[in-house]
Amino acid sequence: MVALSALTTPTTRPKAVLVAVHFPRVEDAELASSLDELGRLVTTLGYQVVARVVQPRAHLEAAAVVGEGKLQELAELTGGTGRLETTAPKRRDKARLRREAEDRDEEDDVDDVEDDEVASADAKVDLVAVDHDISPSQARNLERATGVRVLDRTGVIIEIFHRHAKSREARLQVEIARLTYTAPRLRESPGGKERQRGRGAGEAALELDRRKIRDRIAELRSELEAVQRDQDVRRAHRRQARRIALVGYTNAGKSSLMRALTASEVYVEDKLFATLDTTVRALQPEAKPRILVSDTVGFIKKLPHDLVASFKSTLDEALEASHLLHVVDAADPSWEAQLEVTREVLAEIGASEVPSTLVMNKVDLIDPDALERLRRRLPDAWFVSARDPADVASVRQRIITIFEEAYEEIEVVIPYDRQAVLSEMHDAGRVVEERWEEAGVVVRWRSEPESIGRIRARLRG
């Protein structure tokens, strides 16, 4: 496993250890890229990744994901006891724990990866992030053994969404996903000890907490519906406009393209899930007629199902687009897997029907030969760098062309007392030619069939 560069930079950020089980049929590269991504997720949460602990196994250990020996190794990193029992020793005697671990039967560790890199036994770790979905009891056991907070992939993703969501709608959606995730894990809450005094009383208290959570979720859902009704009204106003949505895997460069295409200041960062809300801006310099571009939340593999469902409405905006630009980080070695994940999620939320174009971004980072091979493989894709103004200008032109292909051309006479219609035509299509004649202005005009129908009706009325 590759050493992480974070190891060398002194920083006050809290530290995290990544944990994964290497299943027999998973390629080394696949495991490494999954851990890299988990590392980036954890970094997005503000942690510094100091070590990875990987154990080859056929399945997740039912008790605590990894076997006893590995658990001990992990506990040494975190300063925990390495034990699953609740009663922790009064003082942590690391040396004693280490001796015990050595004596223990380490059978399940025989083919351990030799080079799990370990920062330093003294690095105080604050978080254990597991690259698999784990059960509440596995999380609880891991927390007991390590003495620190444990999050699985879903937990990490929900936490990021929770911190970054800005609009009311996104916040409500994340809160629902978070409570749904938390409810079955309630036992581990700090109040747990009191509850254990009397089993009956404890169960009842837990049930009460769960009921409160269910009620809260119901409340949030109805609030969300109200917000969405509001949004629908606003969307209906925009529906006339031509719409492009930028979709794709997180970090592909959607927001960068959005900024460049709309001369706006949307948030761009080299973090996963930099964008959690859909933003809509007009193409700049403005196209005639106006074209709107929406930037959307990025996808990620193993996106928790709850979040797919709850973010569907954040993406609804995009789904109403007439065309999707599917942005891919062409310089990422796992771009194909990322492309596949995005396609799957799009299918899941019902967007497969929307016409789409593949935009292979970040070509500035690819060597010319590899780029040439990619171009041959994907003859219909657009190859661009969001950092190159000439590429951005050509994307803008191609977007306009997408819409213009559906346009028809008409020639109409606008009487001089109907000039309002003429200004509407300037907004809703492209005026190719205007001639001032006796009966009025003769206009050659290109627009969509519906707009043409609407203008004709206005002129008759």
Ligand X SMILES: Nc1nc2c(ncn2[C@@H]2O[C@H](COP(=O)(O)OP(=O)(O)OP(=O)(O)O)[C@@H](O)[C@H]2O)c(=O)[nH]1
Contact footprint for ligand X (CB under 6 A) = 248, 250-256, 268-270, 272-275, 298, 361-362, 364-365, 385-387
| 7 burial via Cβ count (<10 Å: 0-12, 13-18, 19+) | middle
Q: Report the nearest approach of ligand X to the CB of residue 326 (Å).
A: 11
Site string for Mg ion, 214-253 (x = CB under 5 A): ----------------------------------------
Please state, in angstroms and rounded to a whole number, the distance separating the CA atoms of residues 137 and 173.
26
With CB under 5 to 8 Å by kind, the binding choice for 385 among ligand X, Mg ion, none is ligand X
**Residue among 92 and 387 whose Cβ is closer to ligand X:** 387
Closer residue to ligand X in complex, CB, 64/384: 384
Q: Which does 181 bind (CB under 5 to 8 A by kind): ligand X, Mg ion, none?
A: none
Find the shortest distance in angstroms from Cβ 170 to ligand X. Answer: 13
Tell me whether residue 294 or residue 447 sits nearer to ligand X (CB atom): 294
Instruction: Name beta bridge partners: 382.
Output: 359
d(C-alpha 36, C-alpha 447), whole Å:
48
Q: Is the Cβ of residue 37 or residue 109 nearer to ligand X in the bound state?
A: 37
Select from 75-83, 255-263, 376-384, 443-451 the region that touches Mg ion (CB under 5 A). Answer: 255-263
| Minimum separation from the CB atom of position 26 to Mg ion (A) | 29
Q: Label the pairing between strands 291-295 and 279-282.
A: antiparallel
- The least distance separating Mg ion from the CB of residue 397, rounded to whole angstroms, comes to 23
Closest CA to 129 of 145, 152, 155: 152
User: Of 64 and 244, which CB lies nearer to ligand X in the complex structure?
Assistant: 244
Is there binding between residue 275 and Mg ion (CB under 5 A)?
Answer: yes
Structure tokens at 312: 């569907």
Least distance in angstroms from the C-beta of 385 to Mg ion: 16
Among all chains, which residue has been given the structure tokens 């509440």? 136
Whole-angstrom Cα distance, residue 389 to residue 260? 8
Q: Is-contact 255 280, C-beta < 8 A?
A: no
Under rule CB under 5 A, residue 255 binds Mg ion: yes
Looking at beta carbons only, is 17 or 274 nearer to ligand X?
274
Nearer to ligand X, 161 or 445 (CB): 161
Determine the Cα–Cα distance for residues 65 and 131; give it in Å rounded to an integer: 10
- Residue 4 interacts with Mg ion (CB under 5 A): yes or no: no
Per-residue H/E/C for 222-256? HHHHHHHHHHHHHHHHHCCCEEEEEEEECCCCHHH
Q: Which among Mg ion, ligand X, none contacts residue 365 (Cβ within 5 to 8 A by kind)?
A: ligand X
What residue 230 binds from ligand X, Mg ion, none (CB within 5 to 8 A, per partner kind)?
none
From the list 80, 54, 78, 81, the residue with the least C-alpha distance to 66 is 54
For residue 274, state whether it binds Mg ion (rule: CB under 5 A): yes
Q: Which is nearer to ligand X, 134 or 327 (CB)?
A: 327
CB of 394 to ligand X, least distance (A): 13
Query: 312 or 444, CB closer to ligand X?
Result: 312
Asked if 152 contacts 40 with a C-beta cutoff of 8 angstroms, the reply is: no
How far is residue 388 from each of residues 254, 303, 332, 384, measured CA to CA in Å? 14, 31, 18, 8
Residue nearest ligand X, CB atom distance: 298
Confirm or reject binding of residue 55 to Mg ion (CB under 5 A): no
In the complex, minimum distance from the CB of residue 253 to ligand X, in angstroms, rounded to a whole number: 3
* CA nearest neighbour of 71 among 1, 154, 2, 141: 141
Burial of 121 (0-12, 13-18, 19+ CB in 10 A): exposed
Cβ 32 vs Cβ 39: under 8 Å: no
**Interacting residues toward Mg ion by CB under 5 A:** 255, 274-275
